[in-house]
Amino acid sequence: MEVIQNKGPHGSLELAADLALNRRPSLLLLDPRVDASIRAELLSVVSGAEYRPEFVWIASSGTTQVVGVPPTLVALSWQALCAGAQAVNEHLQVTERDIWLLALPDFHVGGFGIRVRSLLTGSKLIATAGNRAPWNGSAYFSDLIASQATLTSLVPTQLYDLVQEHLTPPPALRAAVIGGQALAPALYFRARELGWPILPSYGMTEACSQIATADISSLGERGIPKLKRLSHIECGATPDGFLTIDSPALLEGTLARSFDGWQFAKISKSVPFVTSDRGEVQGDFLLVLGRGSDQVKIGGEFVNRTLLEQTLIEVRLALNSKPDMALHFEPDERLGFEVVLLSTDALAGALVEGEFNRRVSAPGRIRSVKQVDAIQRDVLGKRAKLLN
């Protein structure tokens, strides 16, 4: 484990010293799996004189999956990162006595954001091995016990692994924020039954991580908690139901390569930022209904990918299925798309297929099971693809 003892804004990290002296270092945070030539190209581009030097550049999730194609970069200012971190600290009531266990990678806004939160409060931060290496649930759990961490942040895939092993959290842990993608109700209730103090959240890179998170008081309530808008966020919705965000934590712009070379698209701060997520604003709470792109047409009928993926989690939990599995939506000449189950174990995949198909209507049913050696996902365990 890497242990960092911060001392407020004048902590021991070079980053803390930079912030204390009002220096804003320019950082390019990239997945180490990004091709070296692409990495060099991106570094050259963001170092150009036409860009402000104090941006933190983070690859937009969803644009890092195409081999050989540079991802779109999101430009975040230090002011925005600090505004977002401060709001999360207030929401979680973080003090210098807290200990963060960092299991998310630094090149993801959720992981880097935890470092900024720790700096602002002077709380201790411990980076588990999974922060830099592939996720290992057993190693994380050992670090969670040894560190006496009070706070952590996980994605549903990581939480699933802990729940499947029937692990119960150590008493020191007072909150575990779950983000990155929608949390299946079955997984939420199973984790709560085991005692995990989980707080579902909704956020995005473009808003420096968290936008709405369940309140700590929800841990004493039954049922799935509502997502409470953080103090630095103003939310609305477009006439067609897409959530809008106004906040000092918003991005400055995006950098993407087109036919004309690299283009920086600056975001207007005079109008709210329109997200790609559908939802409803209910006072201080958000009801997130999923991405507009989650609708897939199969045989002439729309199917919601998120709901199917949540059903897969429910089935795997019910069957106590441990082999890795994921849904893959393959193009089909007749149907448009067909649902394929990728599984590292053919027999387990067949059992899951049968139960899954009993729970969903015809268009969303699994049409075939493919045994694979491994399933490749993005860093947060989201959408999967078949390894070649």
Residue 52: per-residue pLDDT: 59
CATH code of the domain covering residue 118: 3.40.50.12780
249 with 363, same domain?
Answer: no
Domain that holds residue 264: 2-291
Q: Are residues 306 and 192 in the same domain?
A: no
**pTM passes above 0.85:** no
Q: Which of 242, 269, 291 is the last residue of a domain?
A: 291
In tens, the pLDDT along 148-193 reads 999 999 988 899 899 999 999 999 999 999 998 788 899 999 999 9
CB-count burial class (<10 Å; 0-12, 13-18, 19+) for 193: exposed
Domain boundary among 237, 262, 291: 291
Give 196-226 pLDDT, tens digit per residue.
999 999 999 999 999 999 999 999 988 899 9
User: Are residues 271 and 325 located together in one domain of the fold?
Assistant: no
Distances in whole angstroms, Cα of residue 112 to Cα of each of 69, 106, 116, 140: 24, 5, 7, 18
| pLDDT band with cut points at 50, 70 and 90 for residue 36 | confident
Nearest alpha-carbon partner for 103 in 170, 166, 178: 178
The pLDDT tens digits for 119-135 are 999 999 999 866 667 78
Residue 210 shares a structural domain with residue 76: yes
Q: Which amino acid is at 209?
A: S
Tell me which of 271, 291, 311 is where a domain ends.
291
Mean residue pLDDT of the chain comes to: 85
Q: What are 340-363's pLDDT values in tens digits?
A: 999 999 999 999 999 999 998 888
- pLDDT at residue 128, rounded to an integer: 87
Count of domains for the chain: 2
